[in-house]
Structure 1
Amino acid sequence: MPAVALVRHRAARVAALIIVALTLSAGLAPAGPAVAAPSARQNAVTDDPEGGTPALRADLEAASKGYLDAKRALAESVQRQQQLTAQLKTTRVEHAEHTELVEQIADQAYRTGPLRTASVLLDNTSPADFLDRAAALEAVVANENQTLRELQEIQEQITQDTRAVEAEIIEQRKQEALMAKRKQQAEKALTVANEQARAAAAPTNTSTTQNSTSAAPAPRNPDGSWPTETCSVNDPTPADGCITPRTLHALNEAKAAGFTRYVSCFRSGSSGEHPKGRACDFAAQPDGFGGDATGGDRTYGNNLAAFLVDNADQLAVLYVIWYRQIWLPSSGWQSYSGAAGDPSSDHTNHVHLSVY
């Protein structure tokens, strides 16, 4: 090999070794504040760190969805009952008025005797008078018949409205029973899961009694139900996948309320709502999912959990998990033990949100 080529070859090898050494040293060096995003990506565990089991999450999803559906059906039934009750009240007033008219007609007939067609028509002095009396007689008879028909129709309407109100009461009891069943389903699933995996530390209360910012409501169907949505919009978080429009709405509302720390939503290869684009994990620490949140980070998580719970109806919340506790629409805050007992599965480093 010529001398010049040999020198170039050795220089290239040296340069390559230097690049490799720099790369390795950069990987071993502690991440500084200027590289928050890569640090967050490294801390974001992707092996389904939510704790529990797929069966538990399926039970919680089914229970919360069923509870919210029954709650909406109950509200609709109560509204229909209120409308029917108001209508029934108005109809009873009309019934009283028509009953009074019919009684007056009956009283008049009792005192003067029934209106005799022959005597009314024959007792006249001229053809014109005869026609006037005939028209008057026809009008009186028609009015009396109309009053009687209206009274009968009103009585039938009262019967129908009363039955409808009774049917709505039955429907409400049915929905209340279904809500109780869904509540029991969720709590039973949690009890079994918590018995199988006890957290190292006892669960602590997560307060949601503060005055959280009000979130704008997500769009609903005309009947008040939630539209069916798919994982159809881009996930704006570093998770880089898809989420549902309703999940994006909840994410944006949380950011607008001041919760702007690291968030990861879509996650493939796991169970639960993440692969469906219906869940987000909000890190308590600024840079990603680290150890147990303490101090200001713990307060940040408390405030975020409170915001999501306080706006559950507006954001279509299925459940919220934070610091070994889970909030359900049916049951409020309940104990939640992660299977692995680490900060991710115990949710002591992030707030998990699942939406309908």
Structure 2
Amino acid sequence: MHVRKTTARLVAAVVATLALGVSSAPIASPATAAPTTRLAAPDDEGGTPALRAQLETASKGWLDAKAALERSTKRQQELNTQLKTVESELTVRSGKVGEIAGVAYRTGRLGPMSALLNSSSPEGFLDRAAALETVATNEDRELRDLLRTRDEANRTRAELNKEIVEQRKQITVMAKRKQQAERALAVAAADKPAATSGGGSARGTSTSNAKAAPRNPDGSWPSESCSVNDPTPANGCITPRTHNALKQAQAAGYTRYVSCYRPSGSGEHPKGRACDFAAQKNGFGGDATGGDRTYGNNLAAYFIRNADRLGVLYVIWYRQIWLPSSGWKSYSGANGDPSSDHTNHVHLSMY
């Protein structure tokens, strides 16, 4: 009963934690955490190298903890099923041992002396001796089975308690990584005031599901190198996971200009783990408006909808950033131009 109550409380905590990253609608207000340090000068991607390093570390840490939490939750479910089976066996075996004890109490155990005294012939004695051996063997087997089943139940309960501890640990890690990302954004906001124009709504109309990128057997994301030729005009290389995200977006109808690899700058572009998707038909221009802005809204919503399938680290669009831990936040460390403000393209960073 204690395990079930503890599990229920943990499930509620898990749901509350994971719900933070569900919303696909950006918020207009910047993060409110008090900044503690200033970040370095911004680069051509907007924000700063230090900011993006913090966002990468925080989002990766959050996704790793989320995967570990999901593994632990699945293991807990398996152990609960196993425990129910073992407890049923324990009840049956306890009943059998109880029956043996009851018979022995009522009739007395068959021993060598009673077998000898109640035998009228040597053959009768041998028959009774064989019966004695059979009874003893059966009693011994039932008792050993009972002890084995009891030990198995105790081990299963201990493993369940370990999973509960593991889940508490991962929930704590997720909360800390969320705070790390939001603190970094708060520092960037203090370094440079937020732009006066609000972020674009990402309530897109695309509902297609992307083909999931491969994961490790335990559900974690495998480490990938920049090993696939970048099919965009940027040339260079990208990771297999980034290539999958690019192809899935294009298959969903987002076929406007894209640029992925970039040898200079900070963040994921030089690592082959980022792409910039132009909102306008003819490439990167001024601030996206009208149908172009709707295109960007829908594309950002597509990546957020499929974030868990694709391995999305974060999305930046129209002075807003979407984090798997926190949803939409103000991204106000940019330079005031359409490229660094991300008002002319959707930036996708991959795990």
- State the TM-score bracket (shorter-chain normalisation): 0.7 to 0.9
CA distance in 2, matches of 1:198, 1:308: 28
* 2:214 is equivalent to residue 219 of structure 1: yes
> What's the counterpart of residue 279 of structure 2?
284
* Alpha-carbon separation, structure 1, partners of 2:203 and 2:135: 70
| Corresponding position of 1:51 | 46
Report deviation, 1:87. 0.8
Whole-Å Cα distance in 2 between the matches of residues 79 and 99 of structure 1?
A: 30
Q: 2:75 aligned to 73, 80, 102, which one?
A: 80
Q: Matched residues in 1 for 2:129 and 2:150: separation?
A: 32
Match of 1:132 in 2: 127
Give the Cα separation in 1 of the matches to 2:264 and 2:200.
32
Matched with 1:66 is 61
Structure 1: how far apart are the matches of 2:214 and 2:116?
A: 70
State the one-letter code of the partner of 2:184. A
- Corresponding residue of 2:180: 185
User: Per-residue deviation at 1:48?
Assistant: 5.0
User: 2:235 aligned to 235, 240, 249, which one?
Assistant: 240
Aligned residue in 2 for 1:158: 153
Q: Contact 1:232–1:242 at 8 Å: present in 2 too?
A: yes
- Checking the alignment, whether the CA contact within 8 Å between 1:48 and 1:269 is kept in structure 2 is no
Query: Matches of 1:247 and 1:241 in 2, distance apart?
Result: 13
- Cα 1:159–1:350 shift into 2, 3 Å: same
**Cα distance in structure 2, aligned partners of 1:169 and 1:188:** 29
Task: Measure how far apart 1:168 and its partner are.
Answer: 0.6
Out of 95, 98, 106, the residue aligned to residue 101 of structure 2 is 106
Return the alpha-carbon distance in structure 1 between the equivalents of residues 122 and 100 of structure 2: 29
Match for residue 326 of structure 2 among 326, 331, 334: 331
The superposition leaves residues 309-356 of structure 1 with CA deviations (integer Å, 9 ceiling, x where unpaired) of 000011100000001111111001111114311111111100000001
Q: Would the aligned equivalents of 1:199 and 1:341 in 2 still touch at CA under 8 Å? A: no
Distance in 1 (CA, whole Å) between partners of 2:332 and 2:67 is 30
Alpha-carbon distance between aligned partners in 2 of 1:298 and 1:68, rounded to the nearest angstrom: 29
Amino acid in the other structure paired with 1:215:
A
The one-letter code sitting in structure 1 at the alignment partner of 2:158 is R
Paired residues of 1:282 and 1:352 also in contact (CA < 8 A): yes
For the Cα contact (< 8 Å) 1:50–1:338, is it kept in 2? no
Give the drift of 1:200: 2.6
Match of 1:95 among 79, 90, 97: 90
**CA distance, structure 1, for counterparts of residue 74 and residue 337 of structure 2:** 47
Q: How far apart, CA to CA, are the structure 1 residues paired with 2:197 and 2:124?
A: 100
Q: CA deviation at 1:132?
A: 2.9
Q: Is the 8 A contact 1:281 1:353 kept in 2?
A: yes
Contact between 2:204 and 2:299, CA under 8 Å: does it hold in 1? no
Q: How far does residue 199 in structure 1 lie from its aligned partner after superposition?
A: 3.2
Which of these residues, 291, 296, 317, is aligned with residue 301 of structure 1?
296
Q: Which residue does the alignment assign to 2:111? A: 116
Could you tell me the percent identity over the aligned residues?
Answer: 64
Q: Structure 2: which amino acid aligns with 1:158?
A: A
Residue 205 of structure 1: how far off its partner (Å): 5.1
Alignment CA distance shift 1:217-1:121 (3 Å): farther
Structure 1 residues 211, 294: CA separation in 2 closer, same or farther (over 3 Å shift)? closer
Partner of residue 138 from structure 2, selected from 139, 143, 155: 143
Is contact 1:217–1:315 with CA below 8 Å preserved after alignment?
Answer: yes
State the match for 2:347 in structure 1. Answer: 352
**Which has the larger Rg?**
1
| Counterparts in 2 of 1:211 and 1:234: CA distance versus 1, 3 Å | closer
Q: Is the 8 A contact 1:190 1:336 kept in 2?
A: yes
User: C-alpha separation between the residues in 2 aligned to 1:344 and 1:209?
Assistant: 21
Letter in 2 for 1:136: A
User: Do 2:313 and 2:323's aligned partners in 1 also have CA atoms closer than 8 Å?
Assistant: yes
Of structures 1 and 2, the one scoring higher in RCO (CA 8 A, sep 6+) is 2
Match of 2:195 in 1: 200
Residue 228 of structure 1 aligns with an amino acid whose one-letter code is S
| TM-superposed deviation, 1:294 | 0.4
2: CA distance between counterparts of 1:287 and 1:141? 89
TM superposition score normalised by structure 1: 0.84
TM-score w.r.t. length of structure 2:
0.85
Contact 1:215-1:311 at 8 Å conserved across structures: yes
Q: Deviations over 1:38-94 (max 9, x none)?
A: xxxxxxxxx953200000000000000000000000001111111111111111111
Which deviations, in whole Å up to 9, do the C-alpha atoms of 1:72-124 show, x marking residues without a partner? Answer: 00001111111111111111111111111111111111111222222224433
Question: Deviation at 1:233?
Answer: 1.3
Quick one: structure 1 residues 292 and 141, their matched pair in 2 at CA, closer, same or farther if it must change by over 3 Å?
same
Distance 1:276 1:188, change over 3 A: same
- Residues in 2 aligned to 1:205 and 1:148: alpha-carbon distance in whole angstroms: 70
Offset, 1:250: 0.5
Given residue 310 of structure 1, which amino acid in structure 2 is its aligned partner?
A: R
Question: 2:315 is aligned with what amino acid?
Answer: V
Query: Which runs of no fewer than 5 residues in structure 1 stay unpaired?
Result: 1-46
Distance 1:214 1:194, change over 3 A: same
Picking from 269, 273, 289, the partner of 2:268 is 273
